Structure 1
Amino acid sequence: MKKYLLIFLLFFVAFSYAQQYKSHTVAKGENVYRIAKQYNTTPEAIYKINPTAKDGIQEGEILAIPITDDQEYKTHVVEQGDTVYSLSKKYEITVETIYLLNPEAVNGINVGQILNVGKAEKKEGTSIENTEGNKQEILDSLKAEDPDDRKVVRYITHKVKRKETLYGIAKKYDITVEDIKKFNKRLYSEQIKKKDKLRIPVYEKKQVQEAVIDSVDSRLSRTTKYVIKPKETKFGIARRHGITMSELEQMNPNMDPNFPIGMEITVPTTIFVSLKDSLQPGFQLYEIPPKETMFNLVRRLDISADSLLKMNPYIKDGLKAGMVITIPEQKPVDTLSVDAIRGERYIDLSSKLYNFKPKKIAVMLPFSVDTLDLNARQEIEEQLKNKQSLRISLDLYSGVLMAIDSAKTRGITTELNVYDTRKNNNGVHVKRILQENNFDDTDVVIGPLYQSNLEVVAAELKKYNTPVFSPASRRESSLYDNFFQTRPSNEMLQEKIISFVEKDTTDKNIILIVQQGKKYEEIKGKLTAKFPGAKVAKIEEGNYLYAVRLDAVLDKNKPNWVFLESSDVAMISNVIPLLNAKAESHKITLFTTDKNGAFDDDNIKNEHLSKLHMHYPSVDKEFDDEEGEGERSTKKVSDFEKKYKERYGVFPNNWAVRGFDIAYDVLMRLGTADDVYHAVSFEGTTEYVENKFNYAKKPLGGYYNKATYLIKFEDDLKLKVVE
């Protein structure tokens, strides 16, 4: 007790005097949490005077740091096997000192946790006294050190038009996207929409020094002669003088294409960027391909446009095909995933953790404990067999528990509260749960299972802005901003497969085989609109297809891409064998926008689906799960599955995996931001065992998950993720 009282008094005395601030230049690999530990402050204190840091910090960025004793500290990232005692020996300090510098260590230390392990030698830095606590003056005084900083002279209002983007608006006013977000802070967590009114800063124009040459025209107007040296290339010389290879060729129309050593050529007088200086460790050269845009480039490289401009000042005039620029070093292609190569950007949240405050999670599922006789084992087993909602709830819950354990190894601890919602349409009982328990400091609610109960929880917790994650329902909510739909909707799954086919319809014979009935008229209309040249196979009464009808729409001279839309086992078991028989003489690929349970019926042979290379969209990354003597024989068992089997004695089903993926993603997001709303503003997709997440905000209502899979049957009956 005396120890904590001493710590409190130390902080009280420190903050009783005038607050001081120091500038800190962000080093490679640093995050806000680690910087806070170094200066014995908190991430919240740093965010208070550096609000844009919530969107991430970059190497070289300058932060204002509140300090209490002008002392910096050494930090240590806890590794496997570390103990407080071993660290005290390693850094030659006492155990008591570690506890004094890290009060949270009293409850134990975790792998990945950052600890202060003694005082560091003081570094020279900017220290500013601030007796009135004016954080803007502090930021301004620090930013004054940055020669690129500009003063705001006035603001104008911009009304967002249809299809406008933040990047396009920023380019229009010659500012950055970050400039717009800085003065419209809601954009850190929301997307812009039509008729939005944005506050646009107008900066004071600086006088440009005449000595600075920063345009292509000015560089090309001053030339000199240059003699080719051994091992030099056209690529390197163009880069060295800040021009494209095509511009170098224009300056030397009679240049020998063999580029021999000793040849004299014309080049700009100014060496705009030294090749040696441009290729510091961690960077590489990149040639701009045709139709490359700044927006696509910065998004793919995961850096800001400002950072790219600082590395390559001359691209201010725009990107041109053939231009050679400096970019951060990229991973070799063979280490990238198929999805990364296709353009989907994945992010690893576990490498960005800084918020290690305990997370408070509530799980609300229909366990129906009130109907169970815990003394009657046989009765419970019968209910487990017959009650699907109970089985799903227990599977989801088992996955959530595994996620909490996994997050703990990353330093994220969780306080879990579990509530039994009992049954569907149980609003009165659900409201009673919310009224009788404290939810105002709950970080996230996972559940309930049913949409009706979900809507009640989202409505009641909207006043606290508590995020509510729907684990199973595919229905979105258009009423509540705190509603998170984790399962992509049927419309999104349809769009996934349709957009895939749309990319390559040239010289393809598109065929539609659609079940009769009102339910399927909508998808038939959508496919007909997307593929106006598609042929429609006539379906007889009773949803039956005659072979002669199929012959009428097949084409022997073209690949036949067939959409089969049905949930009727009889119809599917009729159509698939017909297509399979025709596959001997025709090129046929099968597609469906909805691989429902009918396709899994025993009457439908997977050998046929494999021969037809059936493609379908999926919420999760499906795989063949045949088991041989208790082990999966067709798939490499993941670490998660091994741990799950060790704990529960069986392999996890899709619901258990889903419970793990949802909960682990939520905990990782809470560890990388102040709250979930901030975390979902990060661009990119997260992926775990079998599910991936990329949340977007609806214009009206909450958030939806736009990350889906496209699965394909291979020849050997195995499933492959295409996208």
Structure 2
Amino acid sequence: MRTILGILFIVLTFHLNAQNYKTHTVKEGETIEAIAKQYLVTPFDIFALNPDAKSKLQPGSTLIIPNSKVKNEPIPDEFRDLIGYKNHKVKRKETLYSLSKKYGVTEDEIKKANRFLYSENLKKGNRLRIPKYRTIINKQTLSNTVRKYTVLPKEGKWRIAYKFGITAEELESLNPGMNDVIQPGDQLNVPNIKVTEEKAIDTTYQYYEVLPKEGFYRLKVKLGLTQEELETLNPQLKESGLKAGMVLKLPADAESEALGEAIESASLVGKLNNFSTKKIAIMLPFQLNRIDTDSVQETKEMIRDKRLLSVVLDFHAGALMAIDSAKRLGISTDLKVMDTRYQTARTRELLEENDFSEYDAVIGPMNNDAFDRVAKGLKEDRIPVIAALTKPKEVYSNVFQTIPENKLLEKAMLDFVKADSTKNKVVIISDLKHRPISNQLKAEFPAAKQIFSRKAKKSDKDGFFIYPVDLENVFAPGKTIVFLETDSNALASSVISMLNGLVIEDIEIVLVTLDKNKAFEGKNIDNNHLSNLKFHYASVNRDFEESTSKSFEKAYRKMYRVSPSKYACRGFDVTLDVLMRLAAGEDLYEASTSDIATEHIENKFRYNKSLFGGYTNEALYIVKYDDLKIVKAN
């Protein structure tokens, strides 16, 4: 019997070779995706010839691997080999563009060889290293399993991956030099399938890339779609199941954000399992070079008068307390504090002087240009960089933006009002600058009454006031929601005062805003009036509440003899959150999926990864004034 099977296998192998196929013996731990990548074919090609592999892949079993389905010409594979540098002293009127043309290199190649050019302009007298390259061209057939594809308008990585039945990661593997953002006309290597086998892209649908460890339950919470609904839109799911990197087709109206109320705020204390020492860098602008250590009084005055230094010291104090708290949980930290001096040039020096390849995370810097330089510099090594106090200019794949976007705050406040079934009426008051916002709110609440600030006398400019008569007969018994949209303290204070005078026994007025800015603060704003109007707004952090963080306040006061500021609380929250996530997974990326929500003293965190960018915190609070306190609104 074995002899017959052996003869059949030989005959089958000969037949397959005659038909331009290969065979592969499965090794321990190999997956279909890895094997497909090795032979530059798609998993679907392998499943077509090996249907049993869908259910079980046995080590030692033999797979039939197809070669090309459509013949293609050899693909030129061109690359440039760095062979040295030429020195150049910059002359008057020379630019990066003129130098790139003169030496036949790109501006980016010159910058990479002279890193200071990322933060400084080219100047006469600068001494540059100009890279010299030689171009090498090889022609590869790549076993005739890939072909060139020209990117069409509106096509991104996910659409192309979906079209050819591969993951975005597999597309990147086929194109090592592919840009993060591809452009129409770019030439990409894609699986060499027939045009008739390409999946059609329907612009009436959304497309979504499955993240690591996402199952059908997580997608139900995140997208609002059941397993059956996803399988109907994506039939291949019934055979292959969910896999990281897979691109799914979704309805156009699918919710693309993880809903905060659908995910419980989870504590990571019970999930800590990685207790290796965490190597962390904190980059802050202490500006120690400006401090005279011989003058204690002068140093105290500088700390008191310099707001930036005060913020930095408070954040650092909170971070140190977080490290101490983490230590009690069994998490050890190797911390290095670096002074950026609020200078991009100094930040560049820190990057050059230190090896960050073994760091688990870098918190900071505060300066946007410096942060961008650090994030870009550490992107290749996938070192997480945490934007703790500012919003970065660009959220690279290794960036964690801890401050939610303004649009998310606006949407949360809008959804909160929409969900209030007890409201009888909506009124929108705004200055002339915020007329577009007022009109957007009117579209959301068609029955709402709009009131705009009056123009100044003998002028077309906004006077930032309304008359009391503008509010006459506006409020009826019951609950009225009033949106106040302005950045004028004069308009805000006068409207708040007038609304407060209209609150009587059977008339309830609730004041809200989409943008809680400085117009709602200061000596002209009466907090008693805000409490009477139950002023609501969306906030990145809740104001300090002794009842919820008494132990932290007590420990902080004992150590520093003052109450913690919001920057001290943020330093504590950001640092502790990073350390706990690092201890709950292999790295920060694994422990920052969208279903993991945490909450500490004043801040909470739930990160959502963009398709080709980094991680943005989408957790926020709806708060309100209540009895002269700011509390969480229900």
User: Same fold, TM exceeding 0.5?
Assistant: yes
Match in the other structure for 1:560: 480
1:410 and 2:329 matched: yes
User: Given the alignment, which residue of 508, 530, 537 partners 2:444?
Assistant: 530
Among 590, 602, 609, the residue aligned to 2:523? 602
Question: Which residue in 1 is equivalent to 2:467?
Answer: 546
- Asked if 1:422 corresponds to 2:316, the answer is no
Q: Is the 8 A contact 1:623 1:718 kept in 2?
A: no
- Give percent identity, aligned residues only: 36
Is the 1:368–1:420 contact (alpha carbons within 8 Å) kept by the matching residues of 2?
Answer: yes
Query: In 1, are the aligned partners of 2:230 and 2:250 still within 8 Å (CA)?
Result: no
- CA separation of 1:702/1:150 partners in 2, compared to 1, >3 Å: closer, same or farther? same
The Cα shift of 1:555 comes to: 3.0
How far is the alpha carbon of 1:621 from its aligned partner? 1.7
Corresponding residue of 1:433: 350
Determine if contact 2:279/2:359 at 8 Å carries over to the other structure: yes
Residue of structure 2 equivalent to 1:612 = 533
Task: Give the aligned partner of residue 375 of structure 1.
Answer: 294
| Displacement after TM superposition at 1:468 (Å) | 0.8
| Cα pair 1:160 1:193 within 8 Å, conserved | no
Q: What's the counterpart of residue 628 of structure 2?
A: 717
Q: The residue matched to 1:533 in structure 2 has which SS?
A: coil
Q: Classify 1:615/1:461 alpha carbon distance in 2 versus 1 (closer, same or farther; 3 Å).
A: same
Contact 2:557 2:564 in 1 (8 A): yes
Q: After superposition, what is the alpha-carbon deviation per residue over 1:425-445, rounded to whole angstroms, capped at 9, x for unaligned?
A: x32221111011111111111
Say if 1:509 and 1:178 are closer, same or farther in 2 by CA, change over 3 A. farther
Quote the Cα distance in structure 1 between the aligned partners of 2:288 and 2:623: 38
Task: Choose the corresponding residue for 1:500, options 381, 396, 416.
Answer: 416
1:401 matched to 2:320: yes
The answer on 1:477 being equivalent to 2:394 is yes
Judging changes above 3 Å, is the alpha-carbon distance between structure 1 residues 384 and 178 closer, same or farther for their aligned structure 2 residues? farther
**Aligned equivalents of 2:577 and 2:201: distance in 1?**
33
How far off its partner does 1:616 sit? 0.7
Where 1:587 maps in the other structure, the secondary structure is strand
Counterpart Cα distance in 2 of 1:545 and 1:178: 65
Q: Is the 8 A contact 1:474 1:490 kept in 2?
A: no
Q: Distance in 1 between matches of 2:572 and 2:239?
A: 35
Give the letter aligned to residue 496 of structure 2. I
Map of 1:309-708 to 2, 5 A cutoff?
343-423=262-342, 426-475=343-392, 477-478=394-395, 480-504=396-420, 508-517=424-433, 520-540=434-454, 541=456, 542-551=463-472, 554-584=474-504, 586-623=507-544, 635=547, 637-681=549-593, 683-708=595-620
Letter in 2 for 1:490: N
- 1: CA distance, partners of 2:364 / 2:552: 22
Aligned residues: 425
Which amino acid counterpart does residue 560 of structure 1 have in structure 2?
Answer: T
Give the residue type in structure 2 aligned to 1:650: V
Q: CA separation of 1:636/1:688 partners in 2, compared to 1, >3 Å: closer, same or farther?
A: closer
Measure, in 1, the Cα distance between the counterparts of 2:280 and 2:298: 31
- Taking the aligned partners of 2:287 and 2:334, their CA distance within structure 1 comes to 23
Q: 1:582, CA displacement in angstroms?
A: 0.7
Whether the aligned pair in 1 keeps the contact of 2:478 and 2:508 (CA below 8 Å) is: yes
Runs of 5+ consecutive residues of structure 2 not aligned to the other structure:
1-25, 32-53, 58-62, 66-163, 167-198, 211-226, 457-462
| Cα displacement (A) at 1:636 | 5.8
The CA distance in 2 between the partners of 1:636 and 1:347, in whole Å, is 16
Q: What is the deviation of 1:535?
A: 1.4
Counterpart contact for 1:475–1:489, Cα < 8 Å: no
Taking the aligned partners of 2:574 and 2:239, their CA distance within structure 1 comes to: 30
Letter of the structure 2 residue corresponding to residue 534 of structure 1: A
Return closer, same or farther for 1:178/1:369 CA change in 2, 3 Å cut-off. farther
Distance 2:239 2:510 in 1: 46
The 2-side partners of 1:499 and 1:406 are apart by: 36
Conserved? CA contact 1:615–1:713, under 8 Å = yes
Whether 1:151 aligns to 2:56 is: yes
Q: Distance in 2 between matches of 1:178 and 1:408?
A: 46
- Is the Cα–Cα contact under 8 Å of residues 234 and 249 in structure 2 kept in the other structure? no
Match of 1:263 in 2: none
- Deviation at 1:719? 2.8
Task: Give the conservation status (yes or no) of the 8 Å contact 2:423–2:480.
Answer: no
Matching residue of 1:169: 230
* Distance (whole Å) between structure 1 residues aligned to residue 616 and residue 585 of structure 2: 19
**Partner Cα distance (2:423, 2:239) in 1:** 45
Match of 1:396, SS state, is helix
Shift of 1:577: 1.1
Q: Per-residue deviation at 1:476?
A: 5.4
**For residues 507 and 616 of structure 1, what CA distance do their matches in structure 2 show?**
17
Quote how far apart the aligned CAs of 1:467 are: 1.0
In structure 1, the residue matched to 2:7 is none
Cα gap change, 1:452 to 1:133, in 2 (>3 Å): same
The amino acid across from 1:615 in the alignment is H
**Counterpart of 2:616 in 1: which secondary structure?**
strand
Amino acid at match of 2:555: K
Separation (CA, whole Å) in 1 of partners of 2:607 and 2:593: 8
Paired residues for 1:194-209 under 5 Å: none
Q: Calculate the aligned-residue CA RMSD, in Å.
A: 3.6
TM-score (norm 1): 0.54
Assess if the C-alpha contact under 8 Å between 1:476 and 1:489 holds in 2. Answer: no
CA distance in 1, matches of 2:346, 2:368: 15
For 2:178, the equivalent position in structure 1 comes to none
Aligned-partner Cα distance in 2 for 1:373–1:421? 18
The 1-side partners of 2:249 and 2:591 are apart by: 20
- Cα distance change of structure 1 residues 180 and 457 upon mapping to structure 2, 3 Å threshold: farther
Mapped to 2, the partners of 1:178 and 1:439 lie a distance apart of 43
Q: 1:348 to 1:171 in 2, by over 3 A?
A: farther
